[in-house]
Amino acid sequence: MWNSSVSNTVYTTSNIISGFVDIIALVICFIFLHRILYRLIRMKYNQRQVSIDIPSILCINTLCIITMKSLIQIIYVTLPTLKKDFQLINEFNYTFKCRFYAYLLWSMIGTVYWSYTLLTFFRFVRVVYSKYVWLQQTTLYLYILIPAQYIFVLISLLPLLLIFDSVQPIFQEAYCTVLMDPLYHMIYTAVIIFYMPLAVIVIFYICIVRKMRRLGVIRPYAERNRRDYVVIYRILLNMTVLSMVSFLYIIVFIIDQILGHSDPLIYRIQWLSSSLGSVLFSIILPFSTTQLRDLFKKKEVKNLIS
C-alpha cells in the first residue's frame, strides 16, 4: 500500500492532468466552432445566402456538447476537488444541486456518444434509404433528432437521480457522482451512455456493408456511398479507441472489487478517462466529418460539400 503522502500526490496530479486535458478539449472545440462561424459569415457576406448542410449541423452539435461537458466537469468536479486537495475547503455542502450537476454531467457524457450515433445515422440513411429524401432533410435533424437525442439521454438517466437514488456524494471527494455500489447503478449508466450507441453504430455499419455488396443497387451513388462507408468505419474505429481510454479505470475497478474496498483513486481515474475522452472526441471529429476537415484546408471553397 502507498503511504498517505504518495497517495495524495498521485490523486492531486491526476486531477490537475484531468483539468488540463479538459482545457485542451475546450480550446479545440472553440477553434473548430470559431472556424465554422467564420466560414458561415464569409458565405453570408459573399453570397448573401447561407446554406449549411446536415454533417456541419451535427458537427456543431457534437462540439457544443463536448464544450458543455468539459465546462461542467471543470467547474463541479475538478475545481472543488483541487480545493479540497490543497485544503482550501474543509467541508463541502452536499445538496440536491450537487446531485443534479452530477446527473447533468453524466447526461452530457452520454449525449456525446449519441451525437456520434446521429452522424452515423445520417450516413446510414444516405446509403440504405437514399430514395427517402425526407430522411435527409435539415429540419428533421435540427428540430427533431438533435433535441430527441438530449431528451432521450436525460430521461433515461433520470431514474438514477429520482428512483434509484444512486447519484450521491463521494465523501472522500468534493462532488457527487453515480455510486459504484451496488454495481447495477454503474452498469445501467454504461449501457445508456456507451453500449447502446455503440451497438446502434455497429448495426448501421453492418447494414451498409450488406448494402454496398449489392453493387447494382448502389451504382448510381457509388462514390458517395463509399465515402459514407469510410466515415462510419472511422466512427466505429474511433469509438473502439475511445473505449480503450477507460481500460485503466476498469483494471482499478476490478482490483477494488476483488479486494473488497473502494480506493478514491478510482474516481480520479474515472474523471481523467472522461477528460481524455473529451479531447479525443474533439481531435477525431474532423476524421469523421469531412466538412470540418475542409474548413482547415488552404484552398478556399464556396460551399461545404456534403
Of the ranges 191-195, 289-293, 296-300, the best mean pLDDT one = 191-195
For residues 274 and 69, give the distance between their C-alpha atoms in angstroms, rounded to a whole number: 10
The count of domains in the chain is: 1
pLDDT at 233 over 90: no
Name the more confident of 230 and 123.
Answer: 123
Query: Domain for residue 300, yes or no?
Result: no
CB 30 within 8 Å of CB 252:
no
Query: Of all residues in the chain, what percent carry a pLDDT higher than 70?
Result: 73
Write the single-letter amino acid at 208.
I
pLDDT at 48: 56
pLDDT at 100: 93
Burial class (CB within 10 angstroms; exposed 0-12, middle 13-18, buried 19+) of 259:
exposed
Query: Domain for residue 306, yes or no?
Result: no
Query: Domain for residue 30, yes or no?
Result: yes
pLDDT at 288 over 90: no
pLDDT at 298: 45
Angle among Cα 71, 77, 82 to the nearest 5 degrees reads 115
Query: The domain that contains 133 carries what CATH number?
Result: 1.20.1070.10
Domain that holds residue 240: 4-287
Single pTM value for the model? 0.85
pLDDT at 98 over 60: yes
Of the ranges 52-61, 240-249, 293-302, the best mean pLDDT one = 52-61
pLDDT at 37: 81
Query: Domain for residue 292, yes or no?
Result: no
pLDDT grade, residue 228 (50/70/90)? low
pLDDT at 242: 65
pLDDT at 300: 43
**pLDDT tens, position by position, 48-82:** 555 677 888 898 999 999 999 999 999 999 998 88
**pLDDT tens, position by position, 258-267:** 776 666 778 8
Which residues have C-beta within 8 Å of that of residue 20, sequence separation ≥ 6? Answer: none
Quick one: CA torsion of 35, 152, 107, 64, rounded to 10 degrees? Answer: 10
For residues 234 and 232, give the distance between their C-alpha atoms in angstroms, rounded to a whole number: 5
SS (H, E, C) 231-297: HHHHHHHHHHHHHHHCHHHHHHHHHHHHHCCCCCHHHHHHHHHHHHHHHHHHHHHHHHCHHHHHCCC
Query: Domain for residue 254, yes or no?
Result: yes
Of the ranges 50-59, 160-169, 224-233, the best mean pLDDT one = 160-169
Average model confidence (pLDDT) across the chain: 80
